[in-house]
Amino acid sequence: MSLRKTHPLISIANNSLYNLPAPSNITNMWNFGSILGLCLILQIITGVFLAMHYSPNIFLAFDCLSHIIRDAPFGWLVRLLHANGASLFFVLMYTHIGRGLFFNRVSIKMTWRIGVLIFLLSILVAFLGYVLPWGQISFWGATVITNLVSAIPYLGTTVVEWVWGGFSVNNSTLIRFFSLHYLMPFIISMLVIIHLIFLHEEKSNNPLGLSNIRDKIFFFPYFSRKDISRAVLILFLFLIISLQYPYLLMDPDNFTPANPIVTPTHIQPEWYFLFAYAILRAIPNKLGGVIMLVISILIMFTRNLKTIKFHFSKISYKTQTFWWFTIIFFILTWLGIKPVERPFVKIRICFTFFYFLWFFF
């Protein structure tokens, strides 16, 4: 079905998601954006219910978590869905970003930049939420990550103490983290709406990378059915994993109450931060490591490619370079859990170099 400019529904289609004309050749890789929206709604709903039973106090936070799991009606399910939902959210987001890089989605400038901003805020929200259970890894993770700000010349120590609300991670820190963790998902929701507005203004991309494709079909019912079916499948698999392997992606040390006196032998963030953590530890200088850590995320703002016309040689080249980048990303994630010793130190340096080199191809 082809929609020409003379079609009587075009004027309505430009302002309606129901009749939105979309390229007929887009694949299942275009479903992850809508599934991310559902996942964000799931996180907000479960987070609101958890907040009803949570107390941001260093003496009560860990016990509140036990109360939610053991005493609150279906509290164990809500907690598991919220904790594992963060992993699902980042799996979908990394896939969504990867699709954008592979199919040259970055040619749609404002949509891409708002998306990267959503990614940055999602990282911050996930970090703040990881501190709230007030387990051993939560406390020491907060201490290590916030201490990175002290690398800022002259102002670093003052800023860290301002973030902490004292001279160490304490009750004021937990209250601030809880407040921000509760508020920021709603800010992300507003950015998602802005993201969709720019998407409809700049139009959807397609696997061929053609900006003037004329073969378009209505979003409903052709793509809406596809979105719903993929969402049901992914959420069903997510529910099975959450019920059968609920603590697969959680650190065992975090089931121990926070103890400021005893330092864990190996502190590491959640799996979705490991690639950046590996880049941080690849640089021997603290300030240099923090700068490279920030650049590893902000460098995505610099992706401003022109739309590539369909050509088999270019598609083949893009495919090869993209999968090399994917391999580099997974290796950095693996290196993030490895200790700072030989041969992992040199391997981190090499793959950090390859990571940044890919963006300058």
Share of the chain above pLDDT 90, in %: 36
The DSSP 8-state label assigned to residue 106 in this structure reads G
Q: Tell whether the model's pLDDT for residue 87 goes beyond 50.
A: yes
Provide CB contacts within 8 A for 182, sequence distance 6+. 47, 51
Mean pLDDT confidence for 226-232:
85
Q: Tell whether the model's pLDDT for residue 192 goes beyond 90.
A: yes
pLDDT for res 12? 40
**pLDDT-derived band at 50, boundaries 50, 70, 90:** very high
Higher pLDDT, 298 or 78: 78
E-assigned strands of the chain? 21-23, 216-218
Higher pLDDT, 358 or 207: 358
Distance, CA of 107 to CA of 123 (rounded, Å): 24
3-state secondary structure of 48: helix
Mean pLDDT confidence for 220-230:
78
Q: Tell whether the model's pLDDT for residue 274 goes beyond 70.
A: yes
Q: Tell whether the model's pLDDT for residue 246 goes beyond 80.
A: yes
Mean pLDDT confidence for 155-167:
88
Listed in order, the ranges of the chain carrying CATH 1.10.287 are 270-361
Distance of CA 63 to the CA centre of its chain: 28
What does pLDDT average to over the chain? 83
Beta bridge partners of 22: 217
What does the pLDDT look like over 72-85, one tens digit per residue? 889 999 999 999 99
pLDDT for res 1? 45
19-263 carries CATH number 1.20.810.10: yes
Question: Strand pairing of 21-23 and 216-218?
Answer: antiparallel
Active site residues: 200, 204, 226-227, 270
pLDDT for res 19? 65
**pLDDT-derived band at 123, boundaries 50, 70, 90:** very high
pLDDT for res 10? 41
Tokens describing residue 338: 């490895």
Q: Tell whether the model's pLDDT for residue 128 goes beyond 60.
A: yes
**pLDDT-derived band at 293, boundaries 50, 70, 90:** confident
On the CB side of 183, CA atoms within 13 Å amount to 6
Listed in order, the ranges of the chain carrying CATH 1.20.810.10 are 19-263
pLDDT for res 7? 43
Higher pLDDT, 66 or 202: 66
**Residue 165 and residue 34 in contact, taking contact as beta carbons nearer than 8 Å:** no
Q: Tell whether the model's pLDDT for residue 11 goes beyond 80.
A: no
Class at the top of the CATH hierarchy for domain 270-361: mainly alpha
CB burial of 270-294 (b: ≥16 within 10 Å; e: otherwise) equals bbbbbbbbbbbbbbeeeeebbebbe
Q: Point out the least confidently predicted range of 57-71, 113-127, 201-215.
A: 201-215
Distance, CA of 350 to CA of 287 (rounded, Å): 19
Q: Point out the least confidently predicted range of 166-170, 178-182, 209-213.
A: 209-213
Distance, CA of 355 to CA of 349 (rounded, Å): 10
pLDDT for res 318? 67
CB atoms within 10 A of CB 358: 16
pLDDT for res 306? 45
Higher pLDDT, 22 or 72: 72
What does the pLDDT look like over 312-343, one tens digit per residue? 445 566 677 888 889 999 999 999 888 878 88
